[in-house]
Structure 1
Amino acid sequence: MSIEVIKPGLLTSLQDAGRRGYAQLGLGRAGAVDEPSMQLANALVGNAGDEAVLEITLAGPTLRFQQDAVVALTGGLIEGRVEGQALPAWTSCFLPAGSVLRLGGMRHGCRSYLAVRGGFDCTPVLGSRSTDLHAGVGPLQGKAVQAGDMLAIGEHAAAPWFQSTQGMQALRWGLDPQPWLDYERAPLALLRGHHADALDEASQRALFSQRFMLSKDSNRTGCRLDGAPLQLRQSLELISEATLPGTLQLPPSGQPILLLAEAPVTGGYPRIGQLAAVDLPRLAQRRPGDTVSFRETTLDEALQRLGEREAALRRLLQRIEQRLESA
């Protein structure tokens, strides 16, 4: 059972929760940039939670399903159609064999996630089915999905909440995307980094007061933030130090770079901040041209917010499982 890629979309790749524990080899974690959306997509099709999904950026692919399939779309709000019929997002949908799913442009957000019951069946690399596009590691030789690719689907039982028919079906209930999408674009929580005090006084104020614009040069490695340049008091002689998703670096241009899922494991630029992990999915859904601003936070607050988000996510995942079982 497989899915044929007719058109690949702007940037579509296979992702799971990431490849963790290989920093000593110089390999970052990769994985879904908006992990809660990935988990919710998997839950809506009845997957265990970490099966590979398709991460779709700004404009989606066209896919032909060779066999019956149960799918779910979460993350950024994207237009989906099957034989002229709208595919609802944030719910579970049944597609009969031969269906062609056309995913268009994204109305809100930057990244959507398409899960299929059984997950995308590709060979794990170092324990993960994630594609690291920067390092060229993972499924499809570490490359984005291309036209003509055949994406296998893992073995799975039929979804008892759907009856096989000749047409598309969708559950009568779905999830509210608003708690998981950044509609208000409020300031992102940032901890001061190791080199924050090396900024001059004006730049220290500007870091938490000005609005930056997300550059078109941003990608899964990092977001380039355009704005009034930030300046150091004096040049620093640095050796490379550890970095991770959420690290805010300051290159010589004075335009900060906020690292994302494919962050390198070390970097030589001053580290002026660290984004609270709970706000990484919010950053992931900002698109080129959107504004980004920061508010200062503490480690205690960042950990508390992350714990609250994870608890809410666990409750929702359990509720989805219960509703599917009772459908």
Structure 2
Amino acid sequence: MNSVHVLAAGLLTTLQDAGRPGWRHLGVGSAGALDAWSHALANRIAGNTDDAATLEITLSGPVLRFDVATCIALCGARIDARVDAQAIPMARPVDLPAGTVLELGACHEGARTYLAVEGGFAVPEILGSKSTDLRGGFGGMRGRALAMGDVLPLASRATRAVAAVHAASWWIDQAPDDDPFPTIRILPGEAPDVIEALCDGPLRVDAASNRQGLRLQGQALTPDTARERISEPVFPGTVQLPPDGRPIVLLADAQTHGGYPRIAHAIRADWPKLAQLRPGDSLSFRSCTPAAARRALELQRQRFARLALAIEGRSRAC
């Protein structure tokens, strides 16, 4: 069987694809890649469809041995990646011969890197997705992060010989847009009295943040709507305000319901930026309109379409 052996697991490495939408009414979250942009771009570079499963690497990566020759791509946060003494570049296809040991170290200028492998990973789909749901304990590698000794089956079979590690001469500018990082655009929610204060100054990402949500530190906010309340639907992007006044921005592993006031919603075009924030990073919010949010997402999709055409037109080594 064509496979990848996990020699070291890294801090938090999970299998993720485009997620499992359509099940929130049954209490099942979407999961999926936090930075859907980098995930999809890595897949395109490796010759896959956008929704193929990738490895989402958080802060520091695993050590992997490939049983079969293949092509990989790395996108997202810049990561220390090496095969022996040879550095592996980002955002371009890289051929690996059978038996290659790929060492993935620390992430820089972001929190998450995505490793796509030609053909993707052959793990079972649950509710239409291969994504790991850490809160539910299912999907991916039995609902957990990778561990030393795991063997990941690959969907593709070797069709060519690769004599040595080879990176393509071309590369892709992987930035999703030109909006200055880390400004996050938000739509006002049910507590308009706190939006000005929320946008007034920078906030800092707390170390307790995870795939469920970013916990933010800064001047405490107190909305007029703060009170005990009936649990209401929440979604990735929802900005909640707990009783301590420290906002939480929900991410892909968000619960389906919550009782905290929903003071704002981060626009979808800026979710990749949220995914790349590290503990201690600062961010600012800026209010925008629904029309501006739709326009930002459309521009981002147009940029991806142009990059996809450029990738398809390249004469790749993979």
TM-score by length of 1: 0.93
1:300 equivalent among 258, 270, 291: 291
- Partners of 1:290 and 1:227 in 2: CA distance: 12
Residue number in structure 2 paired with 1:253: 244
Residues 85-128 of structure 1, C-alpha deviations (whole Å, 9 max, x = no match): 10111100011111100001112110000000010110000000
Residue number in structure 2 paired with 1:190: 186
TM superposition outliers: structure 1 runs of 4+ over 2 Å: 155-158, 163-166, 179-186, 232-237, 324-327
Residue number in structure 2 paired with 1:170: 167
Deviation for aligned residue 1:186: 3.9
Residue number in structure 2 paired with 1:313: 304
Q: Which runs of 5+ in 1 are unaligned?
A: none
- Partners of 1:164 and 1:224 in 2: CA distance: 48
Residues 177-209 of structure 1, C-alpha deviations (whole Å, 9 max, x = no match): 3x2388942421011012x13x4xxx4432111
8 Å contact 1:66–1:97 — kept in the other structure? Answer: yes
Residues 57-77 of structure 1, C-alpha deviations (whole Å, 9 max, x = no match): 010100011111110000000
- Partners of 1:60 and 1:183 in 2: CA distance: 28
Give the letter for the 1:45 counterpart: A
Moved more, 88-97 or 165-174: 165-174
Matches within 5 A, 1:80-95: 80-95=81-96
- Structure 1 residues 19 and 324: CA distance shift in structure 2, 3 A: farther
- Partners of 1:189 and 1:234 in 2: CA distance: 22
2:278 equivalent among 281, 287, 293: 287
Deviation for aligned residue 1:226: 0.4
8 Å contact 2:133–2:253 — kept in the other structure? Answer: yes
Q: Report the 3-state secondary structure (helix = DSSP H, G, I; strand = E; otherwise coil) of the residue aligned with 1:106.
A: strand
Matches within 5 A, 1:1-327: 1-156=2-157, 158=159, 164-177=161-174, 179-180=175-176, 184-194=180-190, 196-197=191-192, 199=193, 203-233=194-224, 235-324=226-315
Moved more, 184-193 or 47-56: 184-193
Deviation for aligned residue 1:2: 0.2
- Partners of 1:146 and 1:47 in 2: CA distance: 25
Deviation for aligned residue 1:166: 2.7
Q: Report the 3-state secondary structure (helix = DSSP H, G, I; strand = E; otherwise coil) of the residue aligned with 1:79.
A: strand
- Partners of 1:155 and 1:49 in 2: CA distance: 16
- Structure 1 residues 191 and 228: CA distance shift in structure 2, 3 A: same
- Partners of 2:196 and 2:264 in 1: CA distance: 13
Deviation for aligned residue 1:165: 3.7
Q: Report the 3-state secondary structure (helix = DSSP H, G, I; strand = E; otherwise coil) of the residue aligned with 1:3.
A: strand
Q: Which runs of 5+ in 2 are unaligned?
A: none
RMSD (Å), alpha carbons? 1.8
8 Å contact 1:91–1:170 — kept in the other structure? Answer: yes
8 Å contact 1:6–1:148 — kept in the other structure? Answer: yes
TM-score by length of 2: 0.95
8 Å contact 2:68–2:158 — kept in the other structure? Answer: no
- Partners of 1:153 and 1:235 in 2: CA distance: 50
Residues 29-52 of structure 1, C-alpha deviations (whole Å, 9 max, x = no match): 110001111111111111122110
- Structure 1 residues 229 and 82: CA distance shift in structure 2, 3 A: same
Give the letter for the 1:48 counterpart: T
